[in-house]
Structure 1
Amino acid sequence: MQSLNISTAALRGVQQALDNTANNLANADTVGYKRRTASFSELLSDSMNEQAAVDSRQRNSPPGLRIGSGSRLGLTKTDVSPGNMKQTDVPTDLMIEGDGYFLVSRPFRNANGELDDEYRLTRSGAFQFAQMAGLPGYALVTPTGEYLVDEVGLPISFENPGELTITPEGVVFLDGNEVAQMRLYKVDNPDQLQQVGDNQLLAPVLDDQKAPDFMQFADGRIKQGALETSNVNVQEEMSQLINVQRAYQLNSRAIGITDQMMGIANSLRSR
């Protein structure tokens, strides 16, 4: 029974690791995506320190034999190493050189029916001009509709699209006129933040103040006309996929052998 429990627990963890690898491969071409690595941890183990006198004379193993209960997927950690640069020469494409995240806002209606903003962090700089919902003018938005915000948390808006220029320090110019100052924000441990899909993290906001008021500014610089590609290494992920499949096959075979042994034990008992 112990071997059956160990192999079953291992199969659960291996399946989760397989899903993680598949997710990395699926996002190999996603702009600004950061790969996740799976790490395993040991389940509860026991130590056989007190053995019967007869048993201890017949055993070759020393006292204190450790009996494990298998392993499980401990966590999937985000690899924050930068991706490669893809030159696009599109003025609304922005890339972060170094540390930092773009801050975007997503409008929603709260429980009272009032319009409010939810702040999110992302490394994806594939912005575009779009007309603001219910408001005059245009703004820089993500492909899923979130607004790129300035240093006070308001959407960077323009009366009409024009010649856009953004300095490495985040100063936004339209047709030569300064219209906004944007910032990059620092995240010490992105694994502590909630992933909300679309390659975005939920920004840690408080009830009584907006995110830009208390989040730390990052030291990264902005490069206009370029995008950061995913940091997924396809060859490495394929190698990991083969290892995970082998581990799955091994544990499946162990379950089959355990089932056969239990069947033999049952047949011997019935005789």
Structure 2
Amino acid sequence: MQSLNISTAAMRGIQQALDNTSNNLSNLDTPGYKRRVASFSELLSGSMNEQPAVDNQNRNTPAGLRIGSGARLGLTKLDMGQGSIKQTDVPTDVAIEGDGYFLVTKKIKDATGAVIQEENRLTRDGAFQIEYDDDEGGYVLHTPSGYILTDDNGVPFVLPEPVRNIQISKEGVLNADGTEYGRIGVWKVDNPDQLQQVGQNLFDAEIASGDNPSTKYTNVLAEGSATLRQGALETSNVNMMEEMSQLVNIQRAYQLNSRAIGISDEMMSIANSLRSR
């Protein structure tokens, strides 16, 4: 019976690892996507101590037999390795070279159109577009999902009129038609594994409406540990060959545990037939 529990727990974790690998492969061409690596941990184990006394002689291991309970998926660690930089020559495309995330925000409204709150999100996707926003009363840089890029104070960039010549320096200073509109904020997260994914290549920033992001995160552009490159995008850091190798390993592990369940079932069937005689 224990073998069934061990194999069942392992197959459940293997299925989750397969989902993680599938998610990595599906985001192979997503700008700024960071792959996740599945990590397994051992479940609680017991010890069988009712062993003959002679078994305790000349042994270096603890007394008894260790009985495990299988393994589970303990963590999907975020790989923060830098993706390759792809030159696009689009002035609103911005790539981060180094650690850090863009902070983007979006107003959430009720059925009457009144603003309830602002959602703050973190992303590495720098494929911004410029468009007029009624709520901000001007032109903004927004992500494909509609979140607006913010400056180093967490305030959205608002351009009062259509612009043709947008320039973004390595330090994040945004100029449009010769007018400076502020500095882009790029924020470092000390423990990125704790970031909660909310879809659309975004993470929950855990910053309340109106709060300054500098109270929670460090602006890496201000300290000089990261730079921006205009007219380029950071590609996904997913390696297809590595993910396909992982997929083969997952398939073999699934087959092994499936076979173990089949053998355990056969053993219990034999035991039941012996008891019935």
**In structure 2, how many angstroms separate the alpha carbons of the residues matched to 1:23 and 1:128?**
26
**2:51–2:64: 8 Å Cα contact kept in structure 1?**
no
1:16-31 to 2 correspondences below 5 Å: 16-31=16-31
Q: C-alpha deviations, 1:163-189, integer Å up to 9, x for none? A: 100011111100121122212111111
The alpha carbon displacement at 1:199 in A equals 1.1
Question: Hey, what does 1:94 align to over in structure 2?
Answer: 94
Kindly report which structure 2 residues correspond to 1:144-163, keeping only aligned pairs within 5 A, or say none.
144-158=145-159, 159-163=161-165
Distance in 2 (CA, whole Å) between partners of 1:152 and 1:65 is 60
Provide, for residues 85-117 of structure 1, a one-character-per-residue CA deviation record: whole Å limited to 9, x for no partner: 100000000000111111100111379954431
Indicate if the aligned counterparts of 1:110 and 1:116 stay in contact, CA closer than 8 A: no
Contact in 2 for aligned 1:119/1:211 (Cα 8 Å): no
Identical pairs, percent: 60
CA distance in structure 2 between the partners assigned to 1:42 and 1:201 by the alignment: 29
Q: Distance in 2 between matches of 1:124 and 1:187?
A: 16
* Cα separation, 1, equivalents of 2:210 and 2:109: 17
What is residue 47 of structure 1 aligned with on the other side?
Answer: 47
> How far did 1:212 drift?
4.1
Q: TM-score, normalised by structure 2?
A: 0.90
Q: Give the alignment partner of residue 202 of structure 2, picking from 200, 212, 226.
A: 200
3-state DSSP of counterpart to 2:47:
strand
Alignment partner of 2:193: what SS?
A: helix
Structure 2 letter corresponding to 1:191: D
Inter-CA distance 207–150: structure 2 relative to 1 (3 Å threshold): closer
For residues 55-113 of structure 1, what are the alpha-carbon distances to aligned partners after superposition, in whole Å with 9 as ceiling and x for unaligned?
Answer: x59xx997432111100000100000000010000000000011111110011137995
TM alignment of 1:53-68, pairs within 5 A = 63-68=63-68
Is structure 2 residue 168 aligned with structure 1 residue 166? yes
How many Å apart are 1:53 and its aligned residue? 5.5
Partner Cα separation in structure 2 for residue 107 and residue 80 of structure 1: 29
User: What amino acid is the match of 2:49?
Assistant: N
Question: Paired residue for 1:240?
Answer: 246
Number of aligned residue pairs: give it: 268
For residues 110 and 185 of structure 1, the distance between their equivalents in structure 2, rounded to whole angstroms, comes to 30
**1:229 and 2:240 equivalent?**
no
| Counterpart residue number, 1:37 | 37
Measured after TM superposition, the shift of residue 161 of structure 1 is: 2.9
Q: 1:265 to 1:133 in 2, by over 3 A?
A: farther
The answer for the alignment partner of 1:133 in structure 2 is 134
Q: Tell me the CA shift for residue 208 of structure 1.
A: 7.3
Query: In structure 2, the residue corresponding to 1:157 is in which secondary structure?
Result: coil
What residue ranges of structure 1 are gaps of 5+ in the alignment?
none
Q: Is the 8 A contact 2:3 2:264 kept in 1?
A: yes
CA contact (8 A) 1:204 1:211 kept: no
Specify every segment of 5 or more residues in structure 2 that has no aligned partner in the other structure, as ranges. none
Amino acid at match of 1:231: N
Measure how far apart 1:133 and its partner are.
3.4
Q: What CA distance in whole angstroms lies between the structure 2 residues aligned with 1:154 and 1:32?
A: 22
What displacement does 1:48 show?
2.2
Letter in 2 for 1:51: Q
C-alpha distance in 2 between matches for 1:208 and 1:106: 12
The question of whether the paired residues in 1 share the 8 Å contact of 2:136 and 2:158 is answered with: no
